[in-house]
Amino acid sequence: MRVRRLHRRDLNRTWEFLKLVFRDVNRETVEYQRPFSKRRFLEVYEEEGEQLLFEVEDKIVGYAECAFDASGSDNWVNPRYFDKRGMRPLYVDELAVHPDYQGQGVGGFMLDQLQHLARVRGCTHLVLEVAENNKSALSWYRKRNFFKLDAAIFMAQKLPAEPELLPPRRLPKRAAKAAAAPAPAKGSRKSSGRTRRK
């Protein structure tokens, strides 16, 4: 197995590889992590960071995507969290192994490569995101000394679909009368309607 950087000529077959890898993954586990489209995949190629291919006899068996800083419009990472803790992380955005090669040491070699890359670039930690219900991935990472960073979990609340503007609301009677009466001009006295004799 060899590792090399992704080239432009690899983009189409790498995209097909990623579709294959994630086709059978439990959608409940990773769907929120997959805003990925081919367009976004091509954008990632143009951005800063590393995209690595792992091959056996020219067949893609693994793909890793990582970055040395947290940037981009779709990034949820807060770099200050790591700065405060004296951590300089390599952010692992994607780690994908071909289904036919899982359990054969491909993932271990990929992790070794990412650790090596991180050390060479002066990083102190690998940081990645795993869905809480992806038990097999959590177990795999824990065996390799990964630990949970924070107690935060993603939460959502379902809201009913409604028009953007609220319907008219009736005001209480007192407030309605007060609103109907014109306010006196600032600095003037209320006139009684009578003229003053001199």
d(CA 198, CA 178): 35
Confidence band, pLDDT 50/70/90 cuts, at residue 181: low
- pTM of this prediction exceeds 0.85: no
Q: Which residue is associated with the tokens 């490569």?
A: 113
The domain in which residue 72 lies consists of 2-143
Residue 59 has a pLDDT of: 96
Residue 93 has a pLDDT of: 87
> Is 160 domain-assigned?
no
CATH number of the domain enclosing 43: 3.40.630.30
Q: What is the three-class DSSP state of 29?
A: helix
Q: Which residue has the higher pLDDT, 83 or 154?
A: 83
- How many residues are listed for the chain in this entry? 198
> Is 49 domain-assigned?
yes
Beta-carbon neighbour count of residue 96 at 10 Å? 22
> Is 133 domain-assigned?
yes
> Is 162 domain-assigned?
no
Beta-carbon neighbour count of residue 102 at 10 Å? 15
Residue 159 has a pLDDT of: 62
CB-based contact 62:108 (threshold 8 Å): no
> Is 169 domain-assigned?
no
Number of structural domains in the chain: 1
d(CA 182, CA 190): 11
Please write the tens of the pLDDT for every residue from 43-66. 888 877 889 999 999 999 999 999
> Is 86 domain-assigned?
yes
pLDDT exceeds 90 at position 184: no
pLDDT exceeds 90 at position 31: no
Residue 47 has a pLDDT of: 79
Please write the tens of the pLDDT for every residue from 92-114. 988 999 999 999 999 999 999 99
pLDDT exceeds 70 at position 163: yes
Residue 186 has a pLDDT of: 57
Q: Among 31-40, 95-104, 137-146, 178-187, which stretch is predicted with the lowest mean pLDDT?
A: 178-187
Q: Which residue has the higher pLDDT, 146 or 178?
A: 146
d(CA 20, CA 27): 14
The first and second tokens of residue 185, run together, are 């001009």
